Chains A and B, each alone.
Chain A
Amino acid sequence: MRSGAATPTRASGSRTGWLLLPLAGWLVAFVLAPALILLVISFATRDDLGRVVFAFSLENYGRVFDPVYLGIFARSVGYAALTTVLCIALAYPVAWHIARLGAPWRQRLLLLVMIPFWTSFLIRTYAWITILKQEGLLNGVLRHAGLIAAPLEFLYTPGAVVLGLVYAYLPFMILPLYASAEKVEPSLIEAAHDLGCGPWRTFATIVLPLTRPGLAAGVMMVFVPAIGMFAISDLMGGARVPMLGNVIQDQFVGQARDKPFGAALGVVFLLLFLVSYALLRRRAEVRLG
Chain B
Amino acid sequence: MSAAVEWRAVRRRFGTVTAVDEVSLVVQAGEFLTLLGPSGCGKTTLLRLAAGFETPEAGTIWLGGADVTHEPPFRRDVNQVFQSYALFPHLTVRDNIAFGLRRQGLPGAAVTARVREAVELVALQGCEARWPHELSGGQRQRVALARALAPRPAVLLLDEPLSALDARLRRTMQEELKRLQRQVGTTFVFVTHDQDEAMVLSDRIAVLQAGRLVQVGTGPELYRRPATAFVAEFLGLTNLLPAVRAGEGWRIDAAVTLASAAAGAAAPAWISVRPERVALAPAPPPGPNGFRVRVEETVFRGALEQLTVVTDGGTRLLVLRAGGCPAQPGQLFWAGVPPEEVVTVGA
Contacts and interface: CB of A to CB of B under 8 A. Distances in A.
B53 A206 contact: no
B137 to A, nearest CB: 16
B82 A196 contact: no
A196 B100 contact: yes
Most chain B CB within 10 A, of A188, A191, A193, A288, is at A191
Contacts of A195: 74, 79, 99-100, 103, 147-148, 151
Contacts of B131: 2
Interface stretch (B84-92, B161-169, B313-321): B84-92
Most buried by B among A193, A194, A198, A206: A194
Interface residues of A, number: 19
A9 interface: no
Task: Tell me the dominant secondary structure on chain B's binding face.
Answer: loop
A188 B79 CA distance: 13
Interface in B47-71: 51-53
25 contacts: A2-B131, A187-B84, A188-B86, A188-B88, A190-B51, A190-B82, A191-B80, A192-B99, A193-B53, A193-B73, A193-B74, A194-B51, A194-B52, A194-B74, A194-B148, A195-B74, A195-B79, A195-B100, A195-B103, A196-B74, A196-B100, A198-B74, A205-B99, A206-B88, A210-B90
A196 to B, nearest CB: 3
B74 A185 contact: no
A209 interface: yes
A197 interface: yes
Interface of B: 51-53, 72-74, 78-80, 82-84, 86, 88-90, 99-100, 103-104, 131, 147-148, 151
Interface string A1-42: 010000000000000000000000000000000000000000
A206 B90 CA distance: 8
Contacts of A191: 80, 82, 86, 88
B146 to A, nearest CB: 12
B103 A201 contact: yes
A209 B90 contact: yes
Contacts of B90: 209-210, 288
Given A190-B53, A190-B73, A191-B80, A196 B103 contact: yes
A185 B86 contact: yes
B103 A190 contact: no
A181 to B, nearest CB: 14
A187 B86 contact: yes
B128 to A, nearest CB: 14
Contacts of B100: 195-196
Interface of A: 2, 185, 187-188, 190-198, 201, 205-206, 209-210, 288
A206 B99 CA distance: 11
Contacts of B73: 190, 193-194
Nearest to A187: B86
A191 to B, nearest CB: 4
A128 to B, nearest CB: 39
A206 B88 CA distance: 8
A197 B89 CA distance: 17
A197 to B, nearest CB: 6
Contacts of B147: 195
Contacts of A288: 90
A222 to B, nearest CB: 24
Contacts of B52: 193-194
A193 B148 CA distance: 12
Contacts of B53: 190, 193
Contacts of B74: 193-198
A188 B90 CA distance: 11
Contacts of B89: 188, 210
A196 B151 CA distance: 10
Nearest to A183: B89
Nearest to A288: B90
Nearest to B83: A187
A18 to B, nearest CB: 36
A126 to B, nearest CB: 44
B88 A194 contact: no
A194 B100 CA distance: 8
Given A187-B86, A188-B86, A210-B90, A194 B80 contact: yes
A197 B84 contact: no
Contacts of A187: 82-84, 86
B94 to A, nearest CB: 13
A266 to B, nearest CB: 38
A216 to B, nearest CB: 14
A162 B79 CA distance: 46
